[in-house]
Amino acid sequence: MKAKFFVEETREACEARAAEYFGCNKELLTFEVLSGEEPDAQMWKLIAIEGSHTAIENMDACYGIHYEPGGVYLELFKEHGTGKKLDGQLVIQHILRKNISDVSVGAVQNLMAEFQGRTKIAPEQKEFVCGEDITVEISENDLEAHARLTPPEPGGASLDLETAKKKLAAAGVVYGIDEIALAEMIETKEYVWSRLIAKATMPEDGLDGKVIFNFSKDERTGRPRETEAGKVDYRSLDLFEPVEAGQLLVTRELATEGKPGMTVKGKELKNKPGKEAVFPRGKNVEINEDKTLMRSMCSGMVQYQNHSVNVSNVYKINGDCDIGVGNIDFDGSVLISGSVRTGHTIKATGGVSIGGMLEAATIIAGGNVEVKGGMQGGGKGRIEAGGTVTALYIERGTVIADGEVNIDVSIHSTIETGGSLIAKGKRGAIIGGRTGAAGNVVASFIGAVSHTQTEVVVGVVLGKRERVQFLEKEIARLDGEIVKLDQLDAYLEKSKEKMDYETWDKLNRSGIENRKLNQESKEEFNAEMEGLKYELEHATDGKIHVFETVFPGSKIIIGSDIYKVNDEISFATFKFKDGKVVYGSCEISKPKD
């Protein structure tokens, strides 16, 4: 909306000049009388506003710069009703755009303080026609810049993209410029709205390093484990986390530096680098040079305590292995200070040491087994060891060991050892059951005064004799199957003309295939049995040394011969000679306890 001051001797003269200035009938203008109605007034002073009274009811404040003979004048017009007040900054920016020479800053300030009026602000000069321009507003923190396109005055030049960029640079905006938005604003002549034209890049703080544990640090639940079939095994409890040698335990992700940012004025915004995570200590672990990987140096169990990852190849149980501990399956050695109760199973790739007794339980170890309190097997207790077995006594149990077996007493038990069996101590007795050793057997007593049936075999473990017995039964079974196939052949020969060919051929082919399989199996079993029998017949190096007495009811087996003891024999060594088991005086001295 336009407005203009007019001063004339009469009101009519003012209105006539206004109509001429605006190029319209005076009825289309609204006049406000500032002075002239007073009785002593010499001149009339009016404000002519383009528009009707209704149109200007809530008119915004406005201004005008006029180039007239005698000077350049600034006119200010107050707002009407709810109209917006004058933005002094816009007025000043317009004056600067007009390139007015010798502007009186004081005159401008005084007029703006009065909010309305007319004053001379500069001497007479030719008007500079403003072209299209761009104004820039930068946010207080220099993170954003908004631009507004200012329209040209009539006859003013248009703004091109390159000039607009230079104006942005002159205003301090040198980074993050949205050239697409800038070009669009210039092309569409968007004069009304301010547009975001540049945006800072915010800094990216570095990520903190972190340590990833590839095992559970949680306290073990001790709860029964669920089997693959979905059942709960109440003897297998969650008491430790097993690991294998070389297993990855801990991974550390290094912190990152991050990236700095940049304000629209080109000032760097500093980023915060991430903090490195502290790598844990460890025992029996291997850590790479840059401390990013930790691996187990041995198989066993892993624990996280006091910021330390510890791998142990020994699983220790303070007390008994009972329902509260459950079964144990450990890749390493197991050390139990108490006893192992009935029904439990302990498996270890290493050794097993039991400080108390072993009841009707099972021990399977890849190494040595020691039972300080002895075994009360109840006919179900069992020890399998890849190394030696040492126990105070074995009662109604089974021991199978690759290495030497050392006991004080064996009572109605089965013992097989790939080494020697040494029964020493206060009693040093083998009473009842079957005992076999690939090496020697050394004892104080074999059998009992009650003539308890006791069998001692040396030179070969009992498993080989049992294997021979199994093979003999299998060969007999295969012979029976071959007889049945012979009967089938005879039947097919008689029925060839009577039976349909498809059925006959199917039965004939089945018979041929089964005969082939049975014959191959029989040949394999015969070859294995011959080898075992040869080994049994020639396993004659072992000896049995008895320091005290061998009682009647005992059997001494060496190689292919069996010696049945009918009378007490004292201080003797049994050995194989000339195809028979013979004995003479004990060839070794009784060791001191």
For 44-57, what is each residue's pLDDT tens digit? 898 888 888 887 88
Residues 6+ apart with CB under 8 A from 204: 258, 259, 261, 271
Q: Which residues of 71-132 form beta strands (DSSP E)?
A: 71-77, 117-122
- What secondary structure letter does DSSP report for 449? T
- pLDDT greater than 80 at residue 231: no
Q: Which residues of 153-312 form beta strands (DSSP E)?
A: 195-199, 204-205, 210-213, 224-226, 232-237, 241-243, 248-253, 258-259, 261-262, 268-269, 281-283, 285-287, 293-296, 300-305, 308-312
Q: Are 205 and 271 in contact (CB under 8 A)?
A: yes
Query: What is the rounded distance in angstroms from the CA atom of residue 246 to the CA atom of residue 563?
Result: 54
Query: What is the rounded distance in angstroms from the CA atom of residue 559 to the CA atom of residue 576?
Result: 7
Mean pLDDT of 12-31: 90
Q: Are 394 and 409 in contact (CB under 8 A)?
A: yes
pLDDT of residue 531: 86
- Distance, CA of 378 to chain centre: 48
- pLDDT greater than 60 at residue 220: no
Instruction: Spell out the domain ranges in the chain.
Output: 3-122, 133-199, 213-254+279-312, 316-461+541-585, 465-538
| C-alpha dihedral (507, 511, 512, 518), degrees to nearest 10 | 160
Helices vs. strands in the chain: H and E counts, helices first: 7, 44
pLDDT of residue 461: 62
Mean pLDDT of 96-111: 90
Query: What is the rounded distance in angstroms from the CA atom of residue 72 to the CA atom of residue 64?
Result: 11
Q: Are 62 and 83 in contact (CB under 8 A)?
A: no
Q: Which residues pair with 304 in a beta bridge?
A: 309
pLDDT of residue 462: 59
Residue 495 tokens read as 């029925």
pLDDT of residue 304: 85
- pLDDT greater than 80 at residue 233: no
Per-residue confidence at 232, pLDDT binned at 50, 70, 90? very low
Express as a percent the part of the chain with pLDDT over 70: 95
Write out pLDDT tens, residues 373-398. 999 999 999 999 999 999 999 999 99
Mean pLDDT of 215-230: 61
- pLDDT greater than 70 at residue 214: yes
Of 135-139, 214-218, 415-419, 488-492, the range with the lowest mean pLDDT is 214-218
Q: Which residues of 39-88 form beta strands (DSSP E)?
A: 44-50, 62-68, 71-77
Write out pLDDT tens, residues 526-549. 998 888 887 777 678 889 999 999
Write out pLDDT tens, residues 399-432. 999 999 999 999 999 999 989 999 988 899 999 9
pLDDT of residue 590: 83
Three-state secondary-structure class, residue 548 = strand
- pLDDT greater than 50 at residue 234: no
Express as a percent the part of the chain with pLDDT over 90: 54
Average pLDDT, the chain: 89
Three-state secondary-structure class, residue 577 = strand
pTM of the model: 0.54
Write out pLDDT tens, residues 438-453. 899 999 999 999 999 9
Q: Are 275 and 208 in contact (CB under 8 A)?
A: yes
Mean pLDDT of 179-184: 92
pLDDT of residue 276: 92
The torsion region of residue 544 among left (phi > 0), alpha (psi -120 to 50) and beta comes to: beta
pLDDT of residue 566: 95
Per-residue confidence at 235, pLDDT binned at 50, 70, 90? very low
Per-residue confidence at 225, pLDDT binned at 50, 70, 90? low
CATH architecture of 213-254+279-312: Beta Barrel (2.40)
Q: Are 49 and 29 in contact (CB under 8 A)?
A: yes
pLDDT of residue 567: 94
Write out pLDDT tens, residues 301-346. 888 888 899 888 888 888 999 888 888 888 889 999 999 999 999 9
Query: What is the rounded distance in angstroms from the CA atom of residue 490 to the CA atom of residue 410?
Result: 57
- Segment 375-382 long-range contacts (CB within 8 Å, at least 24 positions apart): 375/399, 375/413, 377/413, 378/342, 380/342
| C-alpha dihedral (66, 67, 71, 75), degrees to nearest 10 | 0
pLDDT of residue 538: 66
